[in-house]
Amino acid sequence: MSETSDAMLAIRDLKVHFPLANGQVVRAVDGVSLTLRPGETVGLVGESGSGKTTVGKTALRLVPATDGEIRIGELDVLNASGRDLRRLRRKAQIIFQDPHSSLNPRMTIRRAVAEGLILNTSLRGRALREKVSETLIAMGLPPQFHDRFPHELSGGQKQRVCIARALVLDPDLLVLDEPTSALDVSVQAQILGVLKDLRAERPSLTQLFISHNLAVIRFLCQRVAVMYLGKIVEEGPVEQVFSDPRHPYTRALLSAVPVPEAGRRPDRTRLTGDIPSPTAVPKGCAFHTRCPVARKGLCDTTPPPRVAAGGGHAALCHFAGEMQTT
C-alpha cells in the first residue's frame, strides 16, 4: 500500500456514526482506510447501507466524521477552515446520481457551470464565457444547448452538465456517486465513455467511483474496494479481485451479478437473508450471519485479520488465505 505522502486522497481509520433519537447508533462507516494515488480511478462498491456514499461525502466534508483522518493532497480535510476549506471545495468535486435534482431549475446550464468559476476565480466577462463554453463543448454539449434550462435537456445531457460543472474548476479529486444509475443503458454507455476519456485527457485527475454496479466498476476502475456494513472487506486491482476474490462476500456479490449471456451460471454462491441493520452490527466478523464458510467460535467472536494476497490485494477474512478460485 502506498504511503500517505504520495497520495491524492488518504483516508485513515474513518468512522462516521449517526446517533438516533432512541439512543441507538448507526455505524455507517466503521473504520475505513483507503488511499488513492494521483491519477488513479478507484471503485467503491457495496449494497445499500454499506456506507459507500457516506465515505464519499465525508471525504469532501459534506458529512461530519466521528473519528479518523482524511487528507486530500497536503490538506487536512477534517480540520480545515477558512481559506483551506475554500481551496478544498475547489480542488475536490462531486457528481451525484440524479442530475436533475443537482441542477438549479432556474439557472441556464451556462450559468450553472459558470457559478463555480465566479465564486472561486477572478475570471469574468469574455474569458469566463469562453471557459464555460469550452468545457461544455468538451463534454459533448454544442453551443445551442448552453442557454437552455435543465428541464429542456435529457437525463444524459444533464449528467454531462454536472460533469462539466465539476471539471471547469480543474479539480484534483472527483467523487462520483452512482453517476449512471439513473440512466438508460445506451446513455450510460455515453457517460461511461466520457468518464473513461477523462483518464487520458486529465491524467492527474483522481476519481473515486461509488457504485453498486460491478460491471460498471470493472469497465472504469483500476482498483476496487468492496464495502459491507461500514467496513472495506476486500480491496485490490480490479482484474485480480474480480477473477480471484478472497472474501466470501465478494464471491457472493460477483456470482449474483446478472450477466448478459444466455444460460444460467453454474458457479453460484447464494447468500441467505438480508444485510443486518447498521445499528446492530454483528460481533466478530460483521458478515458471519450470512457467510457460507463462517465457523462458530471464531467468526462470531473475533474480528477477522487483514490478509494480504499480493499486489495490493487484501481481504478481511479469517479464511482469506484458504480461498481458492474454482
Partner 1 sequence: MAPLLDIRDLSLVFDTFDGTYHAIDKVSLQLKPGEALGLVGETGCGKSVLTRAAFGLVPVPPARITSGSVRLDGRELLGLSDRALRGIRGSEVAMIFQDPMTYLNPVFRVGTQLVDAIRAQSGGRIGKAEAKSIALDMLDKVHLPNPDRQFRAYPHELSGGMRQRVLIAMALAAKPKLLIADEPTTALDVTIQAQILDLMAELVEDLGLAMIMISHDLGVVAQVCSRVAVMYAGKIVEDAPIGRIFDAPAHPYTQGLLAALPHPFKPVDRLASIPGTLPDLLHPPAGCRFAGRCAQAHAACAAPVPLRAVGPQHRVACTLYEDAAPEGAAHV
Binding site for partner 1 (CB under 8 A): 47-48, 154, 184-190, 192-193, 196, 212-216, 218-219, 239, 242-243, 252-264, 268, 270-275
**All residues at 6 or more sequence positions from 25 whose CB lies less than 8 Å from its CB, including other chains:** 17, 18, 19, 279
3-class DSSP assignment, residue 247:
coil
Cβ atoms of 95 and 175 closer than 8 Å: yes
H helix intervals, the chain: 52-59, 82-91, 109-120, 125-138, 155-167, 185-201, 214-220, 238-243, 248-256
Q: Which is nearer to partner 1, 184 or 201 (CB)?
A: 184
| Cα–Cα separations (whole angstroms), residue 297 to 217, 265, 285 | 35, 33, 11
Q: Residue 164: exposed, middle, or buried by beta-carbon count in 10 A (0-12, 13-18, 19+)?
A: buried
Shortest distance, position 275 Cβ to partner 1, whole Å: 7
Shortest distance, position 193 Cβ to partner 1, whole Å: 6
Side by side, the strands of the sheet bearing 67-72 are: 25-36, 9-19, 67-72, 75-76
Q: Which is nearer to partner 1, 86 or 196 (CB)?
A: 196
User: What are φ and ψ of residue 41, in 5° steps?
Assistant: -110, 115
Q: Which is nearer to partner 1, 72 or 221 (CB)?
A: 221
Q: Which is nearer to partner 1, 120 or 222 (CB)?
A: 222
Shortest distance, position 189 Cβ to partner 1, whole Å: 4
Cβ atoms of 165 and 116 closer than 8 Å: yes
- Angle at the Cα of 142 from the Cα atoms of 141 and 148, rounded to 5 degrees: 75
Shortest distance, position 212 Cβ to partner 1, whole Å: 6
Alpha-carbon span 136 to 138, nearest angstrom: 5
Q: Which is nearer to partner 1, 83 or 262 (CB)?
A: 262
Shortest distance, position 158 Cβ to partner 1, whole Å: 13
Cβ atoms of 147 and 113 closer than 8 Å: no
Shortest distance, position 258 Cβ to partner 1, whole Å: 3
Q: Which is nearer to partner 1, 117 or 221 (CB)?
A: 221
Shortest distance, position 140 Cβ to partner 1, whole Å: 10
Q: Which is nearer to partner 1, 104 or 277 (CB)?
A: 277
